[in-house]
Amino acid sequence: MLIPHPLLGLRDAQEFSYLGDASLLLRPDGMAENAAETFFPYVYLRENPAGLHRELWFHEQGDRSWLVVTRNTVTHEILGAELAGDVVARNRASRDGGDLA
């Protein structure tokens, strides 16, 4: 698989390590009253879709950036990648709108 790195162009997926669903960017507030309830689904529950999946890849053997890659889990086709930092910034900007990562 080749991942279209937004800064470095097409890179072999072997240069990356895989973390999982990009919903991990939406970390709940650990100091909130209901932290135990919100952290359970955050840590353990996954959508696990057959089809398009937004997921975190770390460019470990490269520029060490985190990417959010959109990939089809049925065909392994990669449809796009963006810097995770950009996704987080966008989430912050529209947090009240409830936009997902």
Partner 1 sequence: MRYSAFRVLQEALRGHKGWRPLWRDPEPQAAYDTVIVGGGGHGLATAYYLANTFKQSRIAVLEKGWLGSGNIGRNTTIIRSNYLLPGNEPFYEFSMKLWENLEQEFNFNAMVSQRGVVNLFHTDGQRDAYRRRGNAAILAGADAELLERDALRAMIPFLNFDNARFPVKGGLLQRRGGTARHDGVAWGYARGADRAGVDLIQNCEVTGFRIENGTVKGVETSRGFIGAKKVGVAVAGSTSRVMAQAGMGQLPIESHVLQAFVSEGLKPTIPGVITFGAGHFYISQSDKGGLVFGGDIDGYNSYAQRGNLPTVEDVAEGGMAVMPMIGRARLLRMWGGIMDMSMDGSPIIDRTPIDGLYLNSGWCYGGFKATPASGYAFAHLLATDRPHETAGAYRLDRFQRGTVIDEKGAGAQPNLH
Q: How many residues touch partner 1 (CB under 8 A)? A: 24
Minimum distance from residue 53 beta carbon to partner 1 (Å): 6
**Pairing outcome for strands 17-21 and 2-5:** unpaired
Is residue 85 a contact residue for partner 1 (CB under 8 A)?
no
What's at 31, amino acid-wise? M
Minimum distance from residue 97 beta carbon to partner 1 (Å): 22
Cα 22 from Cα 90, distance rounded (Å) = 14
Partners of 78 in beta bridges: 71
Residue pair 93/76 in contact by the 8 Å Cβ criterion = no
Is residue 61 a contact residue for partner 1 (CB under 8 A)?
no
Which among 11-19, 58-66, 81-89, 93-101 is the span making contact with partner 1, rule CB under 8 A? 11-19
Structure tokens at 80: 């796009």
Q: Which residue has the tokens 């990939």?
A: 71
Minimum distance from residue 37 beta carbon to partner 1 (Å): 9
- Chain residues binding partner 1 by CB under 8 A are 1, 13-14, 18-21, 40-41, 43-50, 53, 55, 71, 73-76
